[in-house]
Structure 1
Amino acid sequence: MKRLACLALLLSASLPCVAQQVADREFAPAVSPPAFVEGKGPVVCLDEAHYNFHTLDGRFHAFGALLRRDGYVVTPNRVAFDATSLSACAVLVIANAQPSDADWNDYPTPTPSAFAPTEVAAVRDWVQGGGRLLLIADHMPLAGAALALAAAFDVEFTDGFAFAGVDNEAKAKPTLFRLDDGTLSDHAILRGRNASEAISQLRSFTGQAFRAPGAQPLMVLPAGFVSLHPAKAWAFDDATPRVEVGGWLQGAVKDAGKGRAAFFGEAAMFTAQSAGAERRPMGMNAPGAEQNAQFVLNLLHWLAEPSLPATQ
């Protein structure tokens, strides 16, 4: 990711060449029935004001298109967060905000926050007053860039890489979350509005592990998972610090005052992309992720209840 050499390929030929991720603009799963009349649903603002790795015209194209087919109004937010800018949104989505447009290997350690303290306070107060937040922050350094904002909601992001193990085979193994093994937690989001929307499996693509005391878990990392914490992104060796994170989270939700917030430690699962010279599917279009698109819809249904203000 982000103008780095494809260090992932040095780890394993089966890991995606993240420097060549492009949106899969042909991925368009059906939405039936839409939750809202076309163009009349709640306003979903996708943050594009913080050097975001994901934008509506870029790698989050499929996310925006999916929500529009469900009736939402999806728009970019390109200004700093304050009471005025947030008032235009029913749901704020932040995906992989960054502190600058520098190469990741030029970032200092620890990773600086992508958000000014006044922005963190504005988002917290907005959610407490009834706003709805979806905060997505991937592996290092993206988790570090969102640490302060997550902490405002008592969520503990970790600026590392979550893998099934430390060898190359484990690093390349798909991360699957299943209802039948307890790595997916029972929740209204997983049940959907009816049986046809029920989720039994999700797939994520590396990401970080986090803890969220008091939140409702959705995606629980299996036993044996480790979080690797290199000095620079993707630069692993035998001395790289590691933490056992089996039982930690990659997805959780919580009520916050009058509002609601959702937190995820992996972003590709919300996208549909082609990766590397072989244009391998990564995201909602990938094998094992067949239910990811429905999960996105279910999650937004939970966040943006029909009682929220819609466009006129």
Structure 2
Amino acid sequence: MKKNLYHLIFFIGTLSYAQGTVEAEIDTLFKYQFKSLKDTHQKKILIDKGHNTIYSIPSGEATAREMFRIIETDGFEVRFTNQKLDSTYLSQVNPDLLIVHGMPNNKTILKNGDKEEILYTSPLKNIEVESIAKYVNNGGSLLLFLSHFPGGSGALPLLEAFSVKFRDGYAYHNQYHTTKKKGICGHFRMNTSNGMLNLNHPLFTSSIDKKTIPTSVRFYCGAAIFRNPEDEILPFPNNTVNYTKTTTSKIRMEETSNDYAGMIGFEYGKGRVIICTDQGIFRSLNLFIENEKIAVTIHDPETDNAGLLVNTLRWLTKLQ
């Protein structure tokens, strides 16, 4: 697909991202060109903003500007909700796809004399976890974005419900790091040559527009998940390291695996699930980190994240 990348951007100040707070601006003019399915279906997408997702703040939707333009262009009806995601509400709205985009843990300070401890809990109630799983089992679909503890791992109970194992630190591999400064936060350019783009997944083999199938995907600073090998859409390379901070932050724990992935997709009952551990993979941000400007990420001129989004939406809503 032809990409048009423009340089007119809107400054949005600072943004909490991965391991710290950085300056960020919104790319406003990148426009992915593809053949739309508008007026050929009546698929509905429900987007959660009631559990402190990225859309719970005023600028959240703007940071995913191009993602929402693609959703609208392809003919999807979108509804945001602050409601509890229980069976009653999900049955009432009856969406084809539920999107939960980032979910920090709730944080409570516990005091005992001179000592303080932090209690982390999921924003999701048990009834919501059960209701979402049943919704998918009965034919709905879920697109879930998560990342590092505690800023993006609040839906851990939902992962456990779908038998997904989660390493909510930082996935890193020195051989494939794509930025000048190397650290515990891995930056990957994923393609078939390096084994990090699985075009044999049904997400791509069922594609109704082969021109939208990505040849390369940019993946920044994600966590690691795994379920079954056949579920992997964006597998990490062998010997990927998961770095996890300890409670004192003075040392870090390291774990290496050949089975990690950054994005997986699978069928569950009559429904479908895709989980991604890079919350910025479809967002329209430029981040400024140590004098380096990083496109995060859908407008990156060297990769096809927008094509990945088109196929993700169509596969989850069973248009392909």
- Shorter chain as denominator, the TM-score bin is 0.7 to 0.9
Name structure 1 gaps, 5 residues minimum: 9-16, 308-312
Question: TM-score, normalized by length of structure 2?
Answer: 0.79
Quote the Cα distance in structure 1 between the aligned partners of 2:187 and 2:301. 9
RMSD: 3.1
Deviation of residue 84 (structure 1)? 3.0
Quote the Cα distance in structure 1 between the aligned partners of 2:315 and 2:136. 15
- 1:212 matches 2:227: yes
Identify the residue that residue 243 of structure 1 maps to in structure 2.
Answer: 255
Task: Say which structure, 1 or 2, has more relative contact order (CA 8 Å, 6+ apart).
Answer: 1
Quote the Cα distance in structure 1 between the aligned partners of 2:217 and 2:168. 23
Quote the Cα distance in structure 2 between the aligned partners of 1:199 and 1:117. 37
Larger Rg: 2
2:36 corresponds, among 13, 34, 37, to 34
Percent of aligned pairs sharing the same letter: 19
1:199 corresponds, among 209, 214, 219, to 214
CA separation of 1:102/1:193 partners in 2, compared to 1, >3 Å: closer, same or farther?
Answer: farther
- 1:259 matches 2:271: yes
CA separation of 1:218/1:280 partners in 2, compared to 1, >3 Å: closer, same or farther?
Answer: closer
1:108 corresponds, among 118, 131, 149, to 118
Letter in 2 for 1:120: V
- 1:226 matches 2:229: no
Letter in 2 for 1:108: I
Letter in 1 for 2:101: A
Question: TM-score, normalized by length of structure 1?
Answer: 0.81
Quote the Cα distance in structure 1 between the aligned partners of 2:164 and 2:17. 31
Name structure 2 gaps, 5 residues minimum: 1-13, 110-115
CA distances 1:258-305 after superposition (whole Å, capped 9, x unpaired)? 1111111111112111223866421111244x3100110101111112
CA contact (8 A) 1:225 1:244 kept: yes
CA contact (8 A) 2:106 2:122 kept: no
Quote the Cα distance in structure 2 between the aligned partners of 1:5 and 1:200. 30
CA separation of 1:26/1:177 partners in 2, compared to 1, >3 Å: closer, same or farther?
Answer: same
Residues 3-22 of structure 1 mapped to structure 2, 5 A cutoff? 8=19, 18-22=21-25
Quote the Cα distance in structure 1 between the aligned partners of 2:309 and 2:287. 21
CA separation of 1:77/1:25 partners in 2, compared to 1, >3 Å: closer, same or farther?
Answer: farther
2:203 corresponds, among 189, 194, 207, to 189
Quote the Cα distance in structure 1 between the aligned partners of 2:18 and 2:208. 42
Letter in 2 for 1:122: S
CA separation of 1:4/1:112 partners in 2, compared to 1, >3 Å: closer, same or farther?
Answer: farther
CA separation of 1:262/1:36 partners in 2, compared to 1, >3 Å: closer, same or farther?
Answer: same
Identify the residue that residue 86 of structure 2 maps to in structure 1.
Answer: 82
| Alignment length (residue pairs) | 288
CA separation of 1:220/1:273 partners in 2, compared to 1, >3 Å: closer, same or farther?
Answer: same
CA separation of 1:144/1:198 partners in 2, compared to 1, >3 Å: closer, same or farther?
Answer: closer
CA contact (8 A) 1:261 1:303 kept: yes
Residue 108 of structure 1 aligns to a residue whose secondary structure is: strand
